[in-house]
Structure 1
Amino acid sequence: MHDLENNIILIVDDNPTNLAVISEALIDAGLEIAVATSGENALKQSTYDPPDLILLDIQMSGIDGFVTCEKLKENPLTHDIPVIFMTALHDTADKVKGFNLGAVDYITKPFQQEEVIARVCLHLKMRNLTKKLEEQNIQLKQFTEELEQRVTQRTAELSESLNDLKQAQIQLVQSEKMSALGQLVAGIAHEINNPLSCISGNVDHIEEYFHDLLEHLQLCQQYCEHPEIETHAGKIDLEFLTEDIPKIIDSAKLGAKRIRDISNSLRTFSRADTTSKVLADIHEGIDSTLMILQHRLKANETRPAIKIIKQYGNFPLVKCYLGQLNQVFMNILANAIDTLDESSQGRSFADIERVPNIINIKTESLDNQSVIIKIKDNGKGISSEVKSQIFDYLFTTKSVGKGTGLGLSISRQIVVEKHGGFLSCESVLGEGTELAIAIPIT
């Protein structure tokens, strides 16, 4: 239990005998403890020196365990501390009440030393894993905010200098931007994978340990037929625990898989292009871009989530610069999201739910010679005058600080000059805008 030796368990009980029994069991198991003889003392101790887990007796003089637990959960400093009730009560209603107050488990009296240690260690490990994940999320958020500030600052600096550049300089800007973005995104993916591997590995160990414990328990039930064992199994709702813990573990594994998918999408999106074209999966590039833009597609306080409808055709791998095409997809999809956000202004949440914001992505093969990628939104559309200028260098309809006028100009250069394809725009006011990309297959 070396990984739990720094954890502190607060035992709260006004019965000296119970305190001595449970304290001795935990100390013998190598765990560090603190004690409180009343609910009032427990609240004070938990506030100035929060423990990692609390074993809380229900029946105490003064405020009982239920009231103590309720006050712990009301205090932001102690809200997240796991609470395990110690009780001789067998009433299901009391157990339900305790769980509703925020308790994570029950230990019934008289104590079974092995059970107490097993339950305490399980919840300490889960608590430690949760804390590690929270810390890593905070670090990731701080890193992301710092990255956003750097990108914003860098974009502002580029905006000041790009006003005097000519069309010939677009290619250099695009190349440097993709190189820097590729290094940054690849670095983020690497930093995510390190703690993620630790989390995934620990969850796998927990799953393995649980299966071993469950197998041992089943053997005990099979060969130790004793009324007290069956009674205790009913008290702790053993059937529910054996069904629910695998679900909790699966949920944690699913969350880790989600993070890994995001990391893989970052690597795919930031793929460094070589000096020559390579065979690549266009759909993989589109999907990685959608994954990166997921935070902008999901629902927020002003509108429901933007619906993505994909109609992917069947065609072979395409010889292209996939990293550069990913930037094209990013520019077009980001513009579509901006358009839908703008068209959502002045509309109620309910109205948008009835007529949702939609982006259609359709791919198809044209005579096995080219692939066509069509990206269409159902926003307000653009006028003929604006449509005739959207690919022009430095042209933008966005407010100052929100657009550079380079996105579609660079996109057209990548599609037309780098790939020998074409990029076109069709739009009807009040109905939406569609951009079509055509790329030769070979």
Structure 2
Amino acid sequence: MISSYSLFWRRCLVFHQIRYQESLTNKSNEIIDYAEEIDLDYSLEDLPKIIDSMTIAWDRLKNISTSLGTFSRADKDYQVPFNIHEGIDSTLLILKHRLKANQHRPGIEVITNYGDLPKNYCFTGQLNQVFMNIIANAIDALDESNTGLSFAEIEVNPNRIKITTSMENQGVKISLADNGQGMNQEVKAKIFDHLFTTKDVGKGTDLGLAIAHQIIEHKHGGNLGSAERKVWDQ
């Protein structure tokens, strides 16, 4: 819609300039009337704003397209070098609609504290699925912790997700924490079990964290666990 609007006014302006040049020595009433008809002054003022909006929209579409390409990259039957941070950033962009503010709560703030990581050999599609499952689970946990709170009350202690990466013992450590209400010991002991969930019926697949656990530990030889701290649940 924006592009059609912009194209229309550009055509009007070009046509106006042509007719203006033709009658430059003797400015006719026709050119004056046409300038009023297309609201020339407004068009000249508004066109740069329209073009800027189109450019911003194009950049957003380009970023989303790039992120979808990174996220949905097909796995080969062997591990390939992968930029962990690109995978996380792509996942965050895809989940942006869930992170932004809605009628029930302010937007969820995401804090990234990235270390200096080399590219790592992994199954990229599977690892991106892990990022998706865990970050989506954190969003769900924050939404659940907001139950019974007003918009203003949540604003006092805004929802936050913090993602930290670092090198540790010649391996990569990725920590994701949220400032929700946390988990009790009984839940923590079962979160990676198949079909275990704390969500209401019809919400979630009950498989997200179990699949993430299998991908990290069985496909990549890593460890996936949970730890609780005083402020952030990790």
TM bucket, shorter chain: 0.7 to 0.9
CA distance 1:396–1:231, change in 2 (3 Å): closer
Correspondence for 1:302: 104
8 Å Cα contact 2:9/2:43 also seen in 1: no
Shift of 1:303: 0.9
Correspondence for 1:269: 71
Give the secondary structure class of the aligned counterpart of 1:279. strand
Shift of 1:237: 6.0
Correspondence for 2:115: 313
Shift of 1:353: 1.4
Per-residue CA deviation, residues 158-202 of structure 1 (Å, 9 max, x unaligned), is xxxxxxxxxxxxxxxxxxxxxxxxxxxxxxxxxxxxxxxxx7xx6
Correspondence for 1:360: 162
Shift of 1:383: 1.4
The 1-side partners of 2:37 and 2:201 are apart by 65
**What is the number of residues matched between the two proteins?**
233
Shift of 1:264: 3.2
Q: Specify which of 229, 244, 249 is matched with residue 51 of structure 2.
A: 249
One-letter code aligned to 1:337: I
Correspondence for 2:203: 402
The 2-side partners of 1:313 and 1:402 are apart by 34
Correspondence for 2:231: 431
- Which residues of structure 2 form unaligned runs of 5+? none
The alignment yields a C-alpha RMSD, in angstroms, of 3.2
Q: Specify which of 325, 335, 341 is matched with residue 143 of structure 2.
A: 341
Q: Which has the higher helix share?
A: 1
CA distance 1:362–1:203, change in 2 (3 Å): farther
Shift of 1:235: 9.2
Correspondence for 1:7: none
One-letter code aligned to 2:73: R
The 1-side partners of 2:19 and 2:198 are apart by 68
CA distance 1:291–1:220, change in 2 (3 Å): farther
Give the structure-1-normalised TM-score. 0.46
One-letter code aligned to 1:276: Y
8 Å Cα contact 1:207/1:249 also seen in 2: no
The 2-side partners of 1:253 and 1:272 are apart by 30
Tell me: higher relative CO, structure 1 or 2? Use CA pairs within 8 A at least 6 residues apart: 2
The 2-side partners of 1:416 and 1:215 are apart by 68
Do structure 1's residue 418 and structure 2's residue 214 form an aligned pair?
no
Per-residue CA deviation, residues 33-70 of structure 1 (Å, 9 max, x unaligned), is xxxxxxxxxxxxxxxxxxxxxxxxxxxxxxxxxxxxxx
Larger radius of gyration: 1
Do structure 1's residue 258 and structure 2's residue 60 form an aligned pair?
yes
Give the secondary structure class of the aligned counterpart of 1:422. coil
Give the secondary structure class of the aligned counterpart of 1:362. strand
Shift of 1:210: 6.5
Shift of 1:215: 5.8
Shift of 1:371: 2.1
Do structure 1's residue 382 and structure 2's residue 187 form an aligned pair?
no
Shift of 1:396: 2.1
8 Å Cα contact 1:214/1:242 also seen in 2: no
Give the secondary structure class of the aligned counterpart of 1:353. helix
The 2-side partners of 1:203 and 1:239 are apart by 16
One-letter code aligned to 2:194: Y
Give the structure-2-normalised TM-score. 0.83
Correspondence for 1:282: 84
Shift of 1:349: 0.5
- Which residues of structure 1 form unaligned runs of 5+? 1-128, 131-198, 435-442
Q: Percent identity?
A: 49
